[in-house]
Amino acid sequence: MKLKIALVGNPNSGKTTLFNSLTGNNQHIGNWPGVTVEKKEGLVRTNKDITIIDLPGIYSLSPYSLEEVISRDYIFNEKPDVIINIIDGSNLERNLYLTLQLIETGVPVVLAINMMDVIAKNKDVIKSESIAKLLNCPVVEITALKSVGLEELITKSIDLVNKGYKYRPVVWYKERIENIVSIISEKIKPKVEQERLRWYALKIFEKDEKVLEDIKLDSKDKDEIFNLINLYEKEMDDDSESILTTERYNYINRFIEKVYFKNKIKAQSITHKIDKVLTNKYLALPIFVLIIFLVYYLSISTIGGLLTDYVNDTIFGDNGLPGLVTGWLESINAWPWLIGVIVEGIIGGVGAVLGFLPQMFVLFLLLGILEESGYMARIAFILDRIFRRFGLSGKAFFPMLMSTGCAVPGVMAARTIEEENNRKVMIMTTTFMPCGAKLPIIALIAGALFRGSPIQWLIAPSAYLLGILMIIISSIILKKFKGFAGKASPFIMELPDYHLPSVKGLGFTVYHKLKSFIKKAGTIILLAAVIIWFLSNFSWSFTLTSNAEESILASIGKLIDVVFTPLGWGNWKAAVATFTGLVAKENVVSTFGVLYGFAEVGESGAEIWTLLAVDFTALSSYSFLVFNLICAPCFAAIGTIRREMGSRKWTWFAVGYQTLLAYVLSLIIYQIGMMFTGVFNVGSVFGIIALVILIYLIFRPNKFLIKS
Amino acid sequence: MNTLDKVKIGSDCIIQKVSGERPIKRRLMDMGLIPGTRVHVRKLAPLGDPMEIMVKGIELTLRKADAFNIIVEEVAEE
């Protein structure tokens, strides 16, 4: 029998662990359509007929947060056969609040009380049978981490479907409320399924916007119902939604003491002791800086960096795989273009993907440890004050820092940010940080046009400053547009108890993250690398050419370089270099080398400094640098943005925004800069207009902000 | 009567009423900040905001601006 089971629970309830234990390697990870929220589906290891869908961690089924709406929509549109509601046994009261709402949906619920090992160790008592009787649903005691109780959980879920679940309301609200609810039920009866009737009636009592949209009450009924509710609200001096919330909690309060006996909790006192240090008034920030440094040091500069260099330079270097394959292909007399496609296009493309894996592996491992141990939540607590000024989350720090190494893990680190809009902004803007591959461009410009200048040493720091500034400014600008205008949501989150991360759990997370990166980002990178290779190695007569100037890409460069004239660098070499930068930013330097007639140039392109100085002025070269720092990142990063956004539209928007911002910024820098040298023309007017628009976008009032 | 953001660090209070815009109010209440609930104000973040509170045995953190929506009665120290 095919079954669809939805897994629902609070954040920190062990939901992911349970999902991993149940499904093992039979998982598919993607995003919910069009949003940055991760969607995980898997087949039960011991019974492949059962699909488990891991819904986002939520506290409630309110219509206000994205995660909650996703869960609600799934439960109602996809109609899972059973909901497994996992709850943290050491925190029954708050967890059961969601349970009550889930039961009200009318979908059969199996309650899985997790962390029974901790309960046993603390000598707490949970009377599962009493809870099962009270809530009219099967209760299974489990320890997800040790895979205890999982068989029973699945068996009971199947049983529940086989026996034919009969919905019976659990919570009866105050008589007055029930009266109004039954009046609503009468009115909407023809419009909804029988098992869902009570849920819809209660939601209408709560004046739930989403449900009111779905169920179009005729205006007479609506007036009648709303009059009753309004009258009751006035009487109670509270809104109907809050009244039900309070009632649900009160219901739990009334029975919790009879089913749950808690000893003084040991774990918590340990947590308090750790927090005395980690969130200490004076120590918190230094410790945070130290931890950040360690993560960066291990993943970007040492272990991860070294492994990535090894993969890039040794395995995919000239003497590695490409050399071997070239030799073999030549020995069987393959066509030169085929060798090119395979070696430079495909192997180069695959190398670009695989090269990031070691860095990402170390990064995800470390971020996983921080997340699972409970420290990540403390970061938000410590840094919220600083970042909120710019409408960013305290956790925005990680993506920014990672991106100074490589934008790929940087974009992926945005996953830890708690709110959809903040996450989107960070995914879009974190690539502004100068990554490792952009450093050669900085060195090239600083060397070619600022050598000996008193401000030469400023070029590199200015790139970092620009990155940070543009992230902040973008956050301010973007948040004022409709697509980012979220409902005012309060910052309130749980600080979970500290605990040691499990090796098994970490392994799972890292493995699946890397796998989904290879799958999603890999295809894009591969395709793009092959296309750019083709354009830069073929002439219009579709023959292989070794003269870079004859390539299709060069002629495209010559055609479009006029676009960059207002930025001060309307020459085709610069245009082509910018294009090849899309494959990997360090290509900008090597492309210049090739175009200026050098087969190979050093990392900072010292050979072409003097040649470059002829085609550029200091100002136009800086404008070129700014454009290349801010514009669309390399394909690997774009692929990652696609993977994280979960939407093609948003990916295009991100790339478009980045490129537009880069253009506007370079325009302002070049044109306003030219004015200081005494040049004033049409370009200056555009420069001034661009600056005014940018300033307006930053300072205009935010009409979507609801002041609380 | 006071609002939660003004309660002295280290002391306890009991929630009287939760106000504010619907999404904010609902979220606060969903997290268990229900009238009648006892709250222990634990500490402030190193930069003075947000605050850390303890409710029903759980540590929560929220901004002072949001805590302003919660009207409380302070409990005399025992």
Q: What is the pLDDT of residues A373-384, one digit of tens each?
A: 989 889 889 988
Mutation target to probe the A interface, by most A beta carbons within 10 A, among B58, B63, B69, B70 is B58
- Least confident segment among A262-271, A424-433, A654-663: A262-271
pLDDT of A59 strictly over 90: yes
Mutation target to probe the B interface, by most B beta carbons within 10 A, among A93, A381, A420, A487 is A381
State the pairing for strand pair A82-88/A125-126. Answer: unpaired
Please tell me the predicted confidence (pLDDT) of residue A181: 95
Q: Under the phi-then-psi rule, with left for phi > 0, alpha for psi from -120 to 50, and beta for the rest, what region is A372?
A: alpha
Task: For residues A478-488, give the mean pLDDT.
Answer: 76
- Least confident segment among A43-47, A401-405, A458-462: A401-405
Q: Does B43 touch chain A (CB under 8 A)?
A: yes
Residues A127, A201, single domain; the answer is: no
Q: Is B68 exposed, middle or buried (0-12, 13-18, 19+ CB in 10 A)?
A: middle
Amino acid symbol at A575: A
DSSP category for residue A677: T
B30 and A262 in contact by Cβ < 8 A? Answer: no
Of A261, A294, A316, which marks where a domain is finished? A261
Q: A-chain residues within 8 Å CB-CB of B26?
A: 60, 62, 64, 241-242, 245
Q: Does B78 touch chain A (CB under 8 A)?
A: no
B63 and A285 in contact by Cβ < 8 A? Answer: no
Q: Does residue A480 sit in helix, strand or coil?
A: coil
Residues A88, A201, single domain; the answer is: no
Q: Does A212 touch chain B (CB under 8 A)?
A: no
Residues A42, A179, single domain; the answer is: no
Q: Does B46 touch chain A (CB under 8 A)?
A: yes
Confidence of residue A396 (pLDDT cuts 50, 70, 90): confident
Q: Does B54 touch chain A (CB under 8 A)?
A: no
pLDDT of A39 strictly over 80: yes
Residues 6 or more apart whose Cβ sits within 8 Å of residue A147: A21
Q: Is A537 exposed, middle or buried (0-12, 13-18, 19+ CB in 10 A)?
A: buried
User: Quick check: is A644 in a domain?
Assistant: no
Q: What is the CATH number of the domain that holds A211?
A: 1.10.287.1770
CA distance, residue A588 to nearest chain B CA (Å): 43
Q: B-chain residues within 8 Å CB-CB of A250?
A: 34
Residues A185, A149, single domain; the answer is: no
Handedness of CA A578, A581, A586, A591 (dihedral sign): negative
Q: Does B1 touch chain A (CB under 8 A)?
A: no
Residues 6 or more apart whose Cβ sits within 8 Å of residue A382: A279, A284, A285, A288, A394, B45, B46, B47
A265 and B57 in contact by Cβ < 8 A? Answer: yes
Residues A51, A179, single domain; the answer is: no
Please tell me the predicted confidence (pLDDT) of residue A459: 92
- Least confident segment among A70-84, A130-144, A355-369: A355-369
Q: Does A285 touch chain B (CB under 8 A)?
A: yes
Task: Tell me how many helices (H) and strands (E) chain B has.
Answer: 2, 6
Q: How many whole angstroms separate alpha carbon A153 and alpha carbon A156?
A: 5
Q: Does B40 touch chain A (CB under 8 A)?
A: no
A384 and B22 in contact by Cβ < 8 A? Answer: no
Helix (H) or strand (E) holding A470: helix A459-478
Q: Is A156 exposed, middle or buried (0-12, 13-18, 19+ CB in 10 A)?
A: buried
B35 and A490 in contact by Cβ < 8 A? Answer: no
B34 and A285 in contact by Cβ < 8 A? Answer: no
Residues A154, A16, single domain; the answer is: yes
The DSSP bridge partners found for residue A261 are A125
Residues A86, A222, single domain; the answer is: no
State the pairing for strand pair B58-62/A492-494. Answer: antiparallel
Please tell me the predicted confidence (pLDDT) of residue A707: 45
Q: Does residue B70 sit in helix, strand or coil?
A: strand
Residues A43, A146, single domain; the answer is: yes
Query: Which residue shows structure tokens 């661009």?
Result: A690
Shortest CA distance to A292 belongs to which of A356, A358, A363? A363
Q: Report whether A708 contacts A488 (CB < 8 A).
A: yes
User: Quick check: is A297 in a domain?
Assistant: no
Q: Does B65 touch chain A (CB under 8 A)?
A: yes
Q: How many whole angstroms separate alpha carbon A261 and alpha carbon A243?
A: 28
User: Quick check: is A63 in a domain?
Assistant: yes
Considering only the beta carbons, identify the residue of B25, B32, B43 that sits closest to A242: B25
State the pairing for strand pair A492-494/B12-18. Answer: unpaired
For residues A424 and A517, which has the higher predicted lDDT (pLDDT)? A424
Ordered per-residue pLDDT tens for chain B, 78 residues: 899 999 999 999 999 999 988 888 999 999 999 999 999 999 999 999 899 999 988 899 999 999 999 999 999 765
B46 and A93 in contact by Cβ < 8 A? Answer: no
* Nearest chain A residue (CA) to B23: A64
Number of structural domains chain A divides into: 2
User: Quick check: is A50 in a domain?
Assistant: yes
Please tell me the predicted confidence (pLDDT) of residue A66: 85
| Other residues' Cβ atoms within 10 Å of the Cβ of residue A432 | 29
Please tell me the predicted confidence (pLDDT) of residue A486: 62
Please tell me the predicted confidence (pLDDT) of residue A578: 93
Residue A383 C-alpha from the chain's centroid: 19
Residues A159, A130, single domain; the answer is: yes
Residues A19, A99, single domain; the answer is: yes
Amino acid symbol at A231: L
User: Quick check: is A384 in a domain?
Assistant: no
pLDDT digits (tens, 9 = 90+) for A204-246: 999 998 899 988 888 999 999 999 999 999 999 999 999 999 9
Q: Does A280 touch chain B (CB under 8 A)?
A: yes
Q: B-chain residues within 8 Å CB-CB of A493?
A: 60-62
How high is the mean pLDDT of chain A? Answer: 88
Which domains are seen in chain B, by residue range?
2-74 (2.30.30.90)
Q: Does A166 touch chain B (CB under 8 A)?
A: no
pLDDT digits (tens, 9 = 90+) for A456-478: 889 989 999 999 999 999 999 99
The DSSP bridge partners found for residue B40 are B12, B54
Q: How many whole angstroms separate alpha carbon A572 and alpha carbon A565?
A: 10
Residues 6 or more apart whose Cβ sits within 8 Å of residue A82: A3, A4, A5, A6, A107, A108, A109, A110, A157, A160, A161
Laid out side by side, the sheet with B38-44 consists of A492-494, B58-62, B51-55, B38-44, B12-18, B70-74, B2-3
Q: B-chain residues within 8 Å CB-CB of A241?
A: 22, 25-26
pLDDT of A121 strictly over 50: yes
Residues 6 or more apart whose Cβ sits within 8 Å of residue A567: A620, A623, A624, A627, A663, A666, A667, A670
Confidence of residue A264 (pLDDT cuts 50, 70, 90): low
Please tell me the predicted confidence (pLDDT) of residue A668: 97
Amino acid symbol at A430: T
Q: Using CB atoms and an 8 Å cut-off, which of residues 10-29 of chain B contact chain A?
A: 17-18, 20-29
How many residues are listed for chain B in this entry?
78
Q: Using CB atoms and an 8 Å cut-off, which of residues 450-489 of chain A contact chain B?
A: 487-489
Of A106, A132, A163, which marks where a domain is finished? A163
Domain that holds residue A210: 175-261
Please tell me the predicted confidence (pLDDT) of residue A393: 76
pLDDT of A684 strictly over 90: yes
Residues A149, A179, single domain; the answer is: no
User: Quick check: is A299 in a domain?
Assistant: no
CA distance, residue A220 to nearest chain B CA (Å): 25
- Least confident segment among A143-157, A538-552, A606-620: A538-552
Q: How many whole angstroms separate alpha carbon A576 and alpha carbon A588?
A: 8
Q: Does B9 touch chain A (CB under 8 A)?
A: no
Mutation target to probe the B interface, by most B beta carbons within 10 A, among A87, A210, A242, A257 is A242
Shortest CA distance to A495 belongs to which of A291, A284, A288, A275? A275
Q: Does A284 touch chain B (CB under 8 A)?
A: yes
Q: What is the CATH number of the domain that holds A17?
A: 3.40.50.300
pLDDT digits (tens, 9 = 90+) for A179-196: 999 999 999 998 888 889
Of A222, A245, A261, which marks where a domain is finished? A261
B32 and A281 in contact by Cβ < 8 A? Answer: no
Task: For residues A22-46, give the mean pLDDT.
Answer: 87
Q: How many whole angstroms separate alpha carbon A560 and alpha carbon A564?
A: 8
Task: For residues A98-110, give the mean pLDDT.
Answer: 95
Q: B-chain residues within 8 Å CB-CB of A65?
A: 27
User: Quick check: is A231 in a domain?
Assistant: yes
Residue A549 C-alpha from the chain's centroid: 41
Residues A157, A180, single domain; the answer is: no
pLDDT of A55 strictly over 80: yes
Q: Report whether A532 contacts A583 (CB < 8 A).
A: yes
Q: Does residue A678 sit in helix, strand or coil?
A: coil
* Nearest chain A residue (CA) to B55: A94
Q: Report whether A414 contacts A432 (CB < 8 A).
A: no
Q: A-chain residues within 8 Å CB-CB of B57?
A: 91, 93, 262, 265, 268
User: Quick check: is A118 in a domain?
Assistant: yes
pLDDT digits (tens, 9 = 90+) for A555-614: 999 999 999 999 999 999 999 999 888 888 888 888 888 888 776 677 788 888 999 999
